[in-house]
Structure 1
Amino acid sequence: MTTNHIEEIFSDYITTDKTQFAILLNGSWGCGKTYFWKYTLENIAKQNDYKTIYVSLNGINKIETLDHQLFIKLLPFISNQENKIIRNATAFFGNVFNKLSSHYLKSSLSEVFKGVSIDTFNFSKYIICFDDLERCQIPVKEVLGFINNLVEHKNLKTIILAHEPEIIKGDGYERIKEKIIGRDLKFELDIASTLPNLFAKYQDNTAFYDFLSGQTAVITDILIEYKQDNLRIISFYLDTLSKIYPGLKNADPKYIQEIILFSAVIAIEYKKGGLPSSDYSDFKDLDIIDEHYYSIHIANTSRKSGKEDSDRVKKYAEVFYERYLEKNVKTYFFYPSIYSYVLSGYFDKTQFEDELKRRYPEIIPKETQAFRALLNYKFRELSDEDFKTLTKNVLQYAEEGKYFIYDYVQIANFFYYFINNKLISESKEEIDDVIKKGLDLAKKQKAINSKILDNLLHFADENPDVTVIKKLVKEIHYEIKKEEYVANGNELIECLVNKDELELSAIFKKHELSKEFFQYADDKLLFEALLKIPNKQLFNFTELLQSRYTSSNIGEFLFEDAEFLSKLNVSLSTYLDENENIEQPRKYLLSSLETGLIVIIDHLNNTRKK
């Protein structure tokens, strides 16, 4: 049933005099029933001069408690001196607070309101919304009996919100439902009309609000296609977009569409339980899906398994594809930063910006064009003039440090070959000088790639002079890598100094199994930082440190940490021994860290590779 139809039925209901039935708004969990009441039906009621009261039945286990809850909801309205009943209630209201004061709020609700009933209240201009009927712990027959007393004898306008399939239906449920419920309305969220209300949450963030308004049609189509009517999931999705949005301001529209779709399918799948938080770094092959995925990958998998597709156990990526991407795969692109953010809560803005940059067509620099044209086996096909020009250009760019440090191995390989075959006039010494000057400049880019280095070192060289250059590149690689590791250690220390608790958790998660996290850190600086941080952060640091080493075989991965942690423990033990007058609980927290370090070091030793 459309929301417009429900609004019309509701309007007829509240304008009909002396009704003796309630309305049931029936819909699944999270579909927006409560939201619809608060932002639509409640307004209709107020426009017709009704006072509205909302009561959640969630967790209520006694009719007396429900009676008292309803009475409390009525208290704000009894200041109006309309009649004798209200005046008596007002007098009682004062007595209640006297009681509360005298008992210091320790009296039970039943004692405070003993002898008081809502039966004396005039409900003629009130409408009550009873929510979460299926979560009430009172037998549903009793709850409906309580509501029926108000509806039938007080002519109280009443709307009940529930997901009926979850109601435990006892003896006589259908009979009493038929007696009390005049209209059983199936609620289905109208995405198009609801989204603008959800967007209103972001009005203070003008830029993002305007972005959402401009993308309303796209977001609406996605949510409708995936039959997404759960307001909690939709709100989570919009919050996800709000976090990503700052990196989208200048993005190409086609990449914006990719991100809107990708964020939606990952958010929906995560909130529905298909992607647990523990998978934040496991892409589950979602990163290999493209428009050719189904026709190539699935067909190959089926053929290799020797089974028909209907008999084969499908991989997660296949299920994901069929669930979300059969119609939208051309707009799908996997963004690791968004995936990890949805599952973990940590958003790496720099990573996202890099991912977005890589989506744009590559602009090949002149130095790269010259490198590719000259340094391959097809150099023999070049004209004499082109060969001469390219060798001159590549050497110039190389000396200026324009190339990736690993490219200098290939430059050495080819130019030594050119020298040995008298193809160029430069000497080996001149080429060596160019390469060394270029590497000295290129290393300032701080750009390294361990896989490329491993690949270079895997193959032997016919020319020992090339091996010398390769060794130099390797040294530069590890020099930069060490600087990177030191920066990671400094990142932790800086976070402690700045007392940033959220960033502290993010740093430990980011370097979860990193062997170099502590290897190049300065234990003295870290110790000094620990002495200055508040107790709460010291406790958090100890907890995060211990959680890093909980695995039963952690020594196989992080045994190198033991040396650093031992140094830290020595500093901490010395400090505790030399300072007897440390205040509590500071001393307790430092002692706990000391004990934790000893346990961790023993665990690393016991689980290391033999």
Structure 2
Amino acid sequence: MNKNIINFLNEYVKIPNPQYAIMLRGAWGCGKTFFIHQWMKQLSNNKDADKLEWQPIYVSLYGLTNIQQITEQINKEISPWLYSKGMKFAKKILKVASKIALKYDLDMDGNGKNEGSVTYNLDSILLLKEDNTEIKGNKILIFDDLERCDVKLETLLGYINYFSEHCKCKVIIIGDEDKITEKENKDSNLKFKDFKEKTIGRTFEIKVNVEETLDFFINEISANNRNLLLENKELIIKIFHASKFNNLRVLRQCLNDYHRIVMALPEHYHKSPKYKLIITSLLANFVAVYCEYKSGNTQIGHLFNSLSKMFTDREIDEERENILSKYRFIEIGRKLDIFSDFLVNEIVCYLESGYFDTTYLQQYFAAENTSLKSWEYLYDYWRLDNEEYEKYYDETIRYYLADKSTDLRELFIIISVLSVLSNDNLVSVSEKDIITQGKHSINRLMEGISGIEDLLNCKSKVHSGIGRNHNNVGSYKILNKLIAYFEKLFEQRFEKCPNKVSVMLENLTDETCERLSLALNDMLPVRQILYRDTSIFQEADADKVSNSILGLSNESRNTFLHFLLFRYKFTSSGNEIEYLSKCCQLDLPQLKLINRKLKIEAANKRFIEKYSIEKITNLIDEITAKIE
């Protein structure tokens, strides 16, 4: 179909004065812009480099707000090729066309030989309107992203019509027709329907053609990853079609992001015998998750979160099954593991934050030379015969009760398995003993862990360990109790973690002082609140903060003064704060202690040092006086 459009466009541009425009329509991302650029490239290849010929003039209307901006974009397209023909061509054009289009200044030496520099004030509309024998070829004007232009629609359409009607131009308009009509003003004198009837001679629908465009996308990627993508072309196309999203721009973005992540993998991963299998699985997940997320399924991370899969929810189960059913045929005979809990959530994290933790892929590479653990055979316990079940169960329970689990992920994998088996009355150990041992193992594996990053890593491992779903999902009493125990322990440790901003206050330098205000806008992990809504001085050591303030330069003390002003005295709009928030009130006792030491030190300072410290102490006095 798209080939037929190219044939028609090739014929259209040869018409001397068509007096009508062509429209290429289609939904966002269907490949309209890619299509037109490929066609323009074909036209450029047929040009004679030694002749001054019109080149296709492409203008994206995206975000333009007035007609002058559109004209400037046309000027920018015309100027480069006009300059590029050299001064002998430019001078010839200047002589012929200056009265209608160009104002110029030539700097020449005394002999008139040195052509020097030239400056143009180009009026592209007049240049396009007038017949000029010095410039050969077809005047082709392409206006893309019509629906995204912020110029009043009837003004924009009138402007475009001028080129078609009065300039003998071949005009091609590109846009999403449905979106264009949505933007129409009810009071407009010129409707798009009327414009279309008068000005547009033919309209063509650009269809998504992933087969034609995928090679181009892959060839944009560096050679060291290109071959693997070419080998998996059919897989990419199948997943793309299965998603029913049909957005080529998103596919292009997806492949580029995938490439960046693969190239960021450590070198020893690339040498692994399982490398191709693992990154092919990553590719399949990347394309599927990317398309689902960008098409509006932004909750896909929750749907494929190991915790949400662990408990029965009919609505969530149906949503998950609707997604899986689209891709199931692609999985047949392949180990792609599409919508793996881990990979889905890592990709969603990347889409939302730009961060993909490649270290987690280590679990896939590390498994290449290891045999299955006994509890991994129990995932599909219902497939085993009695002897197999007894063997793997005995090995698993001995390992568990001997407290040999190496980390929280492994521990909770085993707990999940035992919880399911207990639910089906397939264990010989009591529920109480399993829970008691589980608590003991959790305590051991979390011993000495107190920092926020380490605690979050523990939480991530627990979630990763709870990831395997079973056919007969039950209440999982054992698992629920041990998750609750871990969460309680996590909360207790987390509450004792130092506030990030408090630590900054204790270790202020001239550099970190500049970042204090920005740090208040960071999100406190787990709590999902900003640091600005926490008490930052309450947890800080008063002596350490005082000493860090005294160690600052006078300029940085002034920065710190403004930090205090806009946390405790003034709102962002400059009005004085009447009532301090609870978290700010909790800071006041420590501020008083800090102030006491600063006043003692200020008495021993001179000039600007004394002045800069006293400005801070005076402000703290004002702040604390509000409560007293």
2:161 is the alignment partner of 1:188: no
Number of the residue aligned with 2:31: 32
Q: 1:539 to 1:211 in 2, by over 3 A?
A: farther
Number of the residue aligned with 2:560: 587
1: CA distance, partners of 2:408 / 2:99 = 80
TM-score when scaled to structure 1? 0.61
| Preserved CA contact (<8 Å) 2:5 2:204 | yes
Q: 1:190 to 1:581 in 2, by over 3 A?
A: closer
Number of the residue aligned with 1:55: 59
Q: CA deviation at 1:193?
A: 1.7
Q: 1:42 to 1:82 in 2, by over 3 A?
A: farther
Instruction: State the one-letter code of the partner of 1:587.
Output: F
2: CA distance, partners of 1:284 / 1:477 = 22
1: CA distance, partners of 2:567 / 2:517 = 12
Task: Give 1:453-492 correspondences, 5 Å limit.
Answer: 478-486=443-451, 488=453
2: CA distance, partners of 1:88 / 1:288 = 75
Q: 1:60 to 1:409 in 2, by over 3 A?
A: closer
| Preserved CA contact (<8 Å) 2:24 2:174 | yes
2:111 is the alignment partner of 1:146: no
Q: How many percent of aligned residue pairs carry the same amino acid?
A: 19
> Paired residue for 2:291, among 268, 274, 282?
268
RMSD: 5.4
> Paired residue for 2:327, among 325, 328, 333?
325
> Paired residue for 1:75, among 70, 73, 79?
79
Note the residue ranges of structure 1 that are not aligned, 5 or more in a row.
Answer: 96-111, 290-296, 302-311, 370-376, 383-393, 395-402, 412-438, 493-510, 605-610
CA displacement 1:387-428 (0-9 Å, x = unmatched): xxxxxxx9xxxxxxxx99x946745xxxxxxxxxxxxxxxxx
Instruction: State the one-letter code of the partner of 1:318.
Output: E
| Preserved CA contact (<8 Å) 1:286 1:334 | no
Task: Give 1:237-276 correspondences, 5 Å limit.
Answer: 237-245=254-262, 249=270, 250-251=273-274, 256-276=279-299
Q: 1:150 to 1:255 in 2, by over 3 A?
A: same
Q: CA deviation at 1:267?
A: 0.7
| Preserved CA contact (<8 Å) 1:150 1:156 | yes
Number of the residue aligned with 1:340: 345
The number of residues matched between the two structures is: 473
Q: 1:208 to 1:601 in 2, by over 3 A?
A: farther
Instruction: State the one-letter code of the partner of 1:92.
Output: K
Instruction: State the one-letter code of the partner of 1:224.
Output: H
| Preserved CA contact (<8 Å) 1:19 1:157 | yes
Q: CA deviation at 1:245?
A: 2.7
Instruction: State the one-letter code of the partner of 2:321.
Output: E
2: CA distance, partners of 1:37 / 1:264 = 25
Note the residue ranges of structure 2 that are not aligned, 5 or more in a row.
Answer: 49-53, 84-89, 107-120, 379-385, 423-427, 458-486, 570-579, 588-628
Number of the residue aligned with 1:19: 18
Number of the residue aligned with 2:148: 135
Q: CA deviation at 1:548?
A: 6.4
| Preserved CA contact (<8 Å) 2:507 2:544 | no
Instruction: State the one-letter code of the partner of 2:496.
Output: Q
Question: What secondary structure sits across from 2:62 in the alignment?
Answer: coil
1: CA distance, partners of 2:349 / 2:214 = 26
Q: CA deviation at 1:129?
A: 1.1
Q: 1:479 to 1:46 in 2, by over 3 A?
A: same
1: CA distance, partners of 2:363 / 2:444 = 24
| Preserved CA contact (<8 Å) 2:141 2:172 | yes
| Preserved CA contact (<8 Å) 1:236 1:267 | no
Q: CA deviation at 1:449?
A: 3.2
TM-score when scaled to structure 2? 0.59
Question: What secondary structure sits across from 1:24 in the alignment?
Answer: strand
2: CA distance, partners of 1:565 / 1:359 = 50
Instruction: State the one-letter code of the partner of 1:7.
Output: I
CA displacement 1:550-583 (0-9 Å, x = unmatched): 659x9xxx9xx98x97342535642366457542
1: CA distance, partners of 2:123 / 2:8 = 39
CA displacement 1:440-470 (0-9 Å, x = unmatched): xx688898736868999x9xxx99xx99x99
2:359 is the alignment partner of 1:350: yes
| Preserved CA contact (<8 Å) 1:240 1:342 | no
| Preserved CA contact (<8 Å) 1:489 1:518 | no
| Preserved CA contact (<8 Å) 2:303 2:309 | no
Which moved further from structure 2: 189-198 or 39-48? 39-48
Question: What secondary structure sits across from 2:292 in the alignment?
Answer: helix
Q: 1:568 to 1:200 in 2, by over 3 A?
A: farther
Instruction: State the one-letter code of the partner of 2:360.
Output: Q
Number of the residue aligned with 1:390: none
CA displacement 1:30-81 (0-9 Å, x = unmatched): 2121122223334324524541222122344444553454345433355423
Q: 1:527 to 1:360 in 2, by over 3 A?
A: farther
Q: 1:189 to 1:138 in 2, by over 3 A?
A: same
CA displacement 1:488-532 (0-9 Å, x = unmatched): 36999xxxxxxxxxxxxxxxxxx9x96335736699976666547
1: CA distance, partners of 2:198 / 2:170 = 15
| Preserved CA contact (<8 Å) 2:20 2:201 | yes
